[in-house]
Amino acid sequence: MPVAPFKTIQNLINGQFQAPIDGHYMDNYEPATGQVYALTPESNERDLQQAVAAAEQAFPAWANTAAEDKAKVLHRLADLIESNQDDLAKAETIDNGKPITLAKNVDIYRAAANIRFFANALTQFSSESHAMEDVAINYTLRDPLGVVACISPWNLPLYLFTWKIAPALAAGNTVIAKPSEITPMTAYLFSELCVEAGLPAGVLNVLHGTGPSIGAPLTTHPKIKAISFTGGSSTGTAIKLATANQHKKLSLELGGKNPTLVFADCDFDRTVEQVARSAFANQGQICLCGSRIYIERSIYKKFLHALVKQVEQIKIGDPLLDDTQFGALVSKSHMQKVLSYITLAQQEGGQVLTGGQSISIAGRCKDGYFVQPTLISGLDNRCRTNQEEIFGPVCTLQPFDHDDEAVSYANDSAYGLAASIWSQDINRCHRIAKQLNTGIVWINCWLLRDLRTPFGGMKASGSGREGGLEALRFFTEPKNVCVQFNY
Ligand code: NDP
């Protein structure tokens, strides 16, 4: 599967690769160079009608395919992702700007793991029964929903695409999936692998395009029974409002502004290293990155200096090089947004401790979208820099005096996705984990994921949970059947 220097991406509808019906394409940029290197279809409602018809037609046969046979196709797909790991990682890096080692070890590795997980899970999925002594028995049927929509963002393109598609297919639904228009390439390569793996025509349809051109019509299409969406909180709200009178199932995985709580008794050196990683992995463009770092006052200065030193060692460079740790931001407009927040932070009284600038990397990446990893101190918790999601390499540092203050800073946010706690007092860690208003809490670790666990956020970070059985439950409709004995 060679990655061609220039590609024209196509939609997958009913097992066929096809151009958008109206023939409109958009430029697709390589963020590390700022150059156009591919064309992406700008699909619209005409493409959608075809995809919906294909998915509807494919639904009964796929829903009734034996679990073992569905699992076989999904395992073949996971095998193909693994055997094409290097090409997929290269494609992800070119499309997104992320370091190639991250693309290989996290994005592509986990995409295959997602598919394999749900291939196995679907053969083990079962439903409940509830006995009423000797009166009756209730059992729960869990049927697939029909045609569902999976919409994903640009930060972990293939990984989050498969995170939704795998459980939707495993549960017996047919799918119309829309990747981000900014990073469409691995979704396209993935659609080729789906055909190669033998996924029947119409079971997965992939439509490329923008939010307005195809995302919005997809969500409001009356035949779409459920929407699994990952993206920004304002887009999540728009989808909620647009579908309010349609009674669809919604799973919304939205933005974050995640707190990192560092206590004086943490394992200092390891914590410095891991806090830097949690702040700046993927250039800070992971919804789970810790962007508000709270440090117990007795170690505040020492930790701040050590963290600055650690961050200044991060190797920024051409993301295609194996030793690069920090690549380009995903787009020019996103780079400008991140830089505008650094300016805002300074206007709000913040002091840039390290970073703060866009940079040019000599050679082929001289026009790429690079911003230094940036640490800022001296800001109030309520200021916009600390309250709004930046989704880039910008983190703030604040001291706290006691546990309750740390918890109240952490919870003082419209968001509630993830948090991390760094301390060797395990009783404190448990106590604080329970008090934090986030869907995920890591204790002395970050981004450690067990695919069986529920994943998602509270407040503006979304509603519903994905992952493991939660995802299979979301993509099925429970129906209780009550049978009376002795009728
Ligand atoms: P967006 O909300 O801008 O876009 C997400 C997807 O939705 C894209 O495919 C986009 O299309 C599409 N879209 C845009 N408008 C609509 C609409 N009205 N109806 C339907 N679909 C639409 O998010 P980003 O791509 O900018 O991703 C970054 C955001 O995602 C951050 O806020 C981040 O926190 C969040 N995120 C959350 C995660 C979680 O698990 N909670 C994980 C990863 C990211 P297009 O962009 O192509 O126009």
Ligand 1 centroid from CA 181, angstroms = 10
| Alpha helices by DSSP H, 263-353 | 268-280, 297-312, 332-347
- pLDDT score for 1: 47
pLDDT digits (tens, 9 = 90+) for 259-293: 999 999 999 999 999 999 999 999 999 999 999 99
Mutation to probe ligand 1, out of 11, 42, 235, 474 (largest number of atoms < 8 A from CB):
235
Which residue owns the Cα nearest ligand 1 atom 16? Answer: 211
CA 210 to ligand 1: nearest atom: 48
- pLDDT score for 441: 98
Which residue owns the Cα nearest ligand 1 atom 46? Answer: 180
Ligand 1 centroid from CA 216, angstroms = 12
Please give the structure tokens belonging to residue 430.
């448990």
Which residue owns the Cα nearest ligand 1 atom 32? Answer: 232
Neighbours of 13 (CB within 10 A): 26
CA 239 to ligand 1: nearest atom: 19
Kind and range of the H or E run holding 242: helix 233-242
Ligand 1 centroid from CA 117, angstroms = 24
- To the nearest 10°, report the CA torsion of 164, 194, 37, 341: 10
Ligand 1 centroid from CA 273, angstroms = 30
Mutation to probe ligand 1, out of 26, 114, 154 (largest number of atoms < 8 A from CB):
154
Residue type, 193: L
Residue type, 224: I
Which residue owns the Cα nearest ligand 1 atom 21? Answer: 215
Largest CA distance in the chain: 82
The rounded distance, in Å, linking the Cα atoms of 133 and 113 is 42
Report the candidate in 243, 232, 227, 251 with the shortest Cα–Cα distance to residue 176.
227
Low-confidence stretches of the chain (pLDDT beneath 50): 1-4
CA 234 to ligand 1: nearest atom: 2
CA 209 to ligand 1: nearest atom: 47
CA 238 to ligand 1: nearest atom: 18
CA 233 to ligand 1: nearest atom: 32
Ligand 1 centroid from CA 152, angstroms = 6
Enumerate residues lining ligand 1, CB below 6 A: 151-155, 160, 178, 180-182, 210-211, 215-216, 219, 230-232, 235, 238-239, 253-256, 287, 389, 391, 417, 457, 461-462
- pLDDT score for 419: 98
Ligand 1 centroid from CA 303, angstroms = 34
Ligand 1 centroid from CA 451, angstroms = 22
258 DSSP β-pair partners: 290
Ligand 1 centroid from CA 232, angstroms = 5
Which residue owns the Cα nearest ligand 1 atom 23? Answer: 231
The dihedral sign for the CA sequence 324, 329, 332, 335: negative
Mutation to probe ligand 1, out of 42, 98, 155, 438 (largest number of atoms < 8 A from CB):
155
- pLDDT score for 4: 45
Neighbours of 212 (CB within 10 A): 10
> Contacts from 13-18 at CB under 8 Å and sequence distance 24+?
13/47, 13/50, 13/51, 13/54, 13/205, 13/207, 14/50, 14/51, 14/53, 14/54, 14/57, 14/58, 14/201, 14/202, 14/205, 15/54, 15/195, 15/200, 15/201, 15/202, 16/201, 17/191, 17/192
Which residue owns the Cα nearest ligand 1 atom 42? Answer: 287
CA 253 to ligand 1: nearest atom: 41
Mutation to probe ligand 1, out of 221, 282, 287 (largest number of atoms < 8 A from CB):
287
What is the residue-wise DSSP string for 414-483? Answer: SEESEEEEE-S-HHHHHHHHHH--SSEEEES-SS---TTS-B--EETTEES-BSHHHHHHHTEEEEEEEE
Ligand 1 centroid from CA 33, angstroms = 23
- pLDDT score for 5: 55
Which residue owns the Cα nearest ligand 1 atom 43? Answer: 287
Catalytic positions: 253, 287
Mutation to probe ligand 1, out of 230, 241, 248 (largest number of atoms < 8 A from CB):
230
- pLDDT score for 26: 97
- pLDDT score for 7: 87
